[in-house]
Chains A and B, each alone.
Chain A
Amino acid sequence: MKIVLIFDQGLAGAGGKTNPNVGLTAVKGGIGSALMLESHFAKIGATVAATLYCGNEYFLNNQEEVIKKMTAMAKKVNPDFVVCGPCFNFPDYAKMAAMISASISENTDLKSCAMMSVENADTIENYKDKTPIVKMPKKGGTGLNDSFSDLCDLITGMVENSSDLESIKNRVCY
């Protein structure tokens, strides 16, 4: 199973708050925080095909372009699933992830989800009906590993069109 990750600059390992204007970048394979996810993905037979990212300020200043191009690039790579996250409690990244995941669901045949903590209440409220948003702890909160297992349950359920999909969504998503 092929997965595309959509990160901000911090999770991509392209610097934190000091490098917020990094432009749209696509890298083959997993980078940065992908390493946290890879052992979980391995359990469901998934590998990271590509990581797409940009800086949080770059997104804020070029929202339309970022969403269009991220959606188009995901379509070009054509993975089995697109994970927009994990966004922790980073508000700009959470907004970007939710908007891109909603755009992918709406404009392509790809399966996708976002992943963020409950602190992004407005984003969750605005997008949870447009795309699945997986629950996770805020930065430094407890339960990070469990939330990655939940993400994998959702990926498997959606990719395999599981009959349990609704109950999985009820359990792991907002």
Chain B
Amino acid sequence: MMQKLEKLLMPVANILSKNKVLSAIRDGFLITVPITIVGSIFLLISNFPIEGFLNFMTSIFGEGWDAYMGRVTAIAFDCVALLGVLSIGYCYAREKGLENRIGGGVVALVCFLIITPQKTIVELEGAAEAGSVSGFTFTFLGTAGMFLAMITAIISVEIYAWAIKKKLIIKLPEGVPPAVMESLAALIPSAIAMVIFFAIGIIFDHTSYKYVHYFIYQVLQAPLVGLGKLAGFEVIYQFLSTLFWFFGINGPAVTNTIFAPIHKVLTVENYEAAQAGLEMTNIFTAGFSDFFCNFGGGGSTLGLVIMMAFLGKSNRMKTLGKLSLPAGIFGINEPIIFGLPMVLNPLMAIPFILVPVINTIIAYLATVVGIMPITLGVQLPWTTPIIASGFLVTGSVMGSLVQIVQLVVDILVYYPFFKLLDKKYLDEESALEGQTDEIDDLSFDDLGLD
């Protein structure tokens, strides 16, 4: 059965992880993660969930200190489409094998800005009619523009790469400096992409949508993000990610090609709702996924590692548990993925795949019932240890408490399988101790080198 399942999954994993468009989108969003994390830290400081902290900060820095913090947060969250189009454009240029990758990124950015409204209607105080001011607004550069950013990056770089491969470039004589050569080589490909997006902008101007942003948002982004609001969304994501890992395939690298953009939009939408003073409604944010579903690494193995370190009877379990625990606290479990191992280990398949799903259900129910608040639109480094992460990502100690409950449940689920494997290893170790044959007492210390 396992072989049949693997035969079924391998082509899917290959298609998703080797697809150039999906890989560029996934990797492009990965580039923006550090920016989002830094923005989240600024956001957390200006909204730190401990009473008295904000007053303390005001007493030191004066009124309005949080507005300064907002400058960084705004770039990280309200310009997420802008950052995305540049980084996805860059990654797609890489996938297309272009030497001038940043050229691709810049063309994508420019094409996105060409189709983005450059005037904003504003209500002017005392004026009978609304006026307009020149300039981009965050409305079109943030989450609402994210799917358009992806599409624009892919199409513009596709056009750019096509023109370069067709050699639609200005050729200069030998001896011209490479930087000049490269810059002029990009001229015609950039122009073709920009003219096409210029035309697209004009075409949409004559439709009822007025802007491409509205069209993509209504036709594509809203329905897809709507899927992320369904109860089963996170369960499917967690189940598939760990199932792939079991076969040695990096699960999130495959599943994130589809799920990462949706997680990102759900996260930033919560931020935007909070900034607008509205209720946050998205449960399945990136923070929820990282810190309430899969803490401790793939398979949410922290509970298992704790048991290995403190309850293991076989030397292999004890040693590996103690060595893996420090990294496990920070969400890294590579030593046990391949060292225990979890990969291709039928004995561990059930808890390995089941535990993240159980965690997801617990955290979902805890949120819906109101035991813990909905996760904020912040993104923390995925290495943030549990308890701290639960507090920071929900702004409540209840987040930490839910994580502790999850850890206990994870330990209970892993326990019988841990005991079985520990007994197997212990039996092997005792059997080897009792046996004597020609390869007993292997030691490098008394090895003769002749």
What residues of chain A have their CB less than 8 Å away from a CB belonging to chain B? 10-19, 23-29, 31-33, 35-36, 39, 49-50, 68-69, 72-73, 76-78, 88, 137, 139-145
Contacts and interface: CB of A to CB of B under 8 A. Distances in A.
A13 B320 contact: yes
B243 to A, nearest CB: 13
Contacts of B13: 142
B447 interface: yes
Contacts of B319: 13-14
17 contacts: A13-B336, A14-B320, A15-B324, A16-B332, A16-B335, A17-B327, A25-B444, A26-B444, A28-B439, A36-B338, A36-B344, A69-B449, A73-B442, A140-B245, A142-B17, A143-B10, A144-B248
B249 A142 contact: yes
B6 interface: yes
Main secondary structure of the interface of A (DSSP, over half): loop
Contact of A15 (B3, B323, B440): B323
Interface in B403-439: 428, 432, 438-439
Q: Which 7 A-B pairs have the closest CB atoms?
A: A140-B250, A15-B323, A13-B339, A144-B248, A26-B442, A16-B335, A24-B444
B439 A145 contact: no
Contacts of B253: 140
A15 B248 contact: no
Contacts of B14: 142
Given A26-B442, A28-B442, A76-B447, A137 B339 contact: no
Nearest to A137: B248
A141 B449 contact: no
B334 A72 contact: no
Contact of B340 (A18, A32, A143): A32
Nearest to B9: A142
Q: Pick from B14, B339, B428, B448 the residue with the most CB of A within 10 Å.
A: B339
Given A49-B439, A50-B439, A145 B340 contact: no
A12 B339 CA distance: 6
Interface in B319-335: 319-320, 323-324, 326-327, 332, 334-335
B271 interface: no
Given A32-B340, A137-B248, A144-B343, A16 B439 contact: no
Contacts of B336: 13
Contact of A10 (B248, B249, B338, B344): B338
Contacts of A32: 316, 320, 338-341
Contacts of A19: 323
B208 interface: no
Contacts of A15: 320, 323-324, 335, 339
Interface in B206-237: none
Contacts of A39: 344
A35 B344 CA distance: 8
B291 interface: no
B343 A11 contact: no
Given A15-B324, A73-B447, A10 B339 contact: yes
B interface, size bucket: 35 or more
Given A13-B335, A142-B14, A145-B6, A27 B320 contact: no
A141 B244 CA distance: 10
Interface of B: 3, 6, 10, 13-14, 17, 245, 247-250, 253, 316, 319-320, 323-324, 326-327, 332, 334-336, 338-341, 343-345, 428, 432, 438-440, 442-444, 447-449
Nearest to A71: B449
B344 A144 contact: yes
B240 to A, nearest CB: 14
B428 A33 contact: no
A73 B445 CA distance: 11
A3 to B, nearest CB: 12
Contacts of B335: 10, 13, 15-16, 18
Contacts of B341: 13, 32-33, 35-36
A18 B338 contact: no
A19 B247 CA distance: 26
A41 to B, nearest CB: 13
A19 B323 CA distance: 8
Contacts of A140: 245, 248-250, 253
B390 to A, nearest CB: 25
Contact of A73 (B10, B324, B327, B444): B444
A16 B442 contact: no
Interface centre among A28, A76, A144 (most CB of B within 10 A): A28
Nearest to A54: B444
Nearest to A30: B428
Contacts of B343: 36, 144
A15 B323 CA distance: 5
Contacts of A68: 449
Among B3, B6, B326, max chain A CB count under 10 A is at B6
A30 B345 CA distance: 14
Contacts of A69: 444, 447, 449
Contacts of B6: 145
Given A13-B336, A141-B250, A145-B3, 4 more contacts: A25-B444, A35-B345, A141-B248, A145-B6
A26 B443 contact: yes
B444 A145 contact: no
